[in-house]
Amino acid sequence: MTVSPDALEAYRLKLRYKVYYHLGSSCPDAEDVVQETLTRFLRALQDEKIHNPESTAAFLSGICNNVIQEYRRRLWKEPLRDPDSSPPGCARDREPEMLELRQVIALIMGQLSQRDRGLLCAFYLEEKCREEICRTMGLSDVQFRVALFRAKGRFRKSYHETMKQNAPGEH
């Protein structure tokens, strides 16, 4: 199966719209997300991984969704540095804050159930893929998504409660 340049340009325009919709029109990396989506699509096309040519647009949309999710995950793990903030050499000034944050996270992780702790560690810290986590924990895909959602909720709730207790002037 081949794709004409006109069809590829039409896909690019639709993908650009989708990316801007999901990431915002001011996203500096929107064009990179579109380009990565098209690159993966062309690679799949070259490797003959598209089994149903009638659903090419849906296949492309699925690839785009994956690239958007990877982009968001990367942003979450590596927040953009504010240009007005201090240069990276001043990281020592934040060491006490980071140490305190690590201690709070360790405390909260210790309060979670073994399953929640294992799930959050495997997915976020060890960066294991969903399939591997499902296989080792004996979960279906749906069970994994629900368990991860609930584990994040319990972590978030415990984190907010801990931060309220440790807030200055509220004792």
Per-residue pLDDT reduced to its tens digit, 18-36: 999 888 888 888 899 999 9
Whole-number average pLDDT of the chain: 83
Confidence band, pLDDT 50/70/90 cuts, at residue 94: low
Outline which parts of the chain fall under CATH 1.10.1740.
5-77
Decide: pTM greater than 0.85. Answer: no
- Kindly give, in sequence order, each residue whose CB lies less than 8 Å from that of residue 166, ignoring residues fewer than 6 positions away: 104
pLDDT at 83 > cutoff 60: no
Outline which parts of the chain fall under CATH 1.10.10.10.
92-165
pLDDT in tens, 128-170: 888 999 999 999 989 999 999 999 999 999 888 888 887 665 4
CATH number for the segment(s) 5-77? 1.10.1740
Q: Does the structural domain 92-165 have CATH classification 1.10.3720.10?
A: no
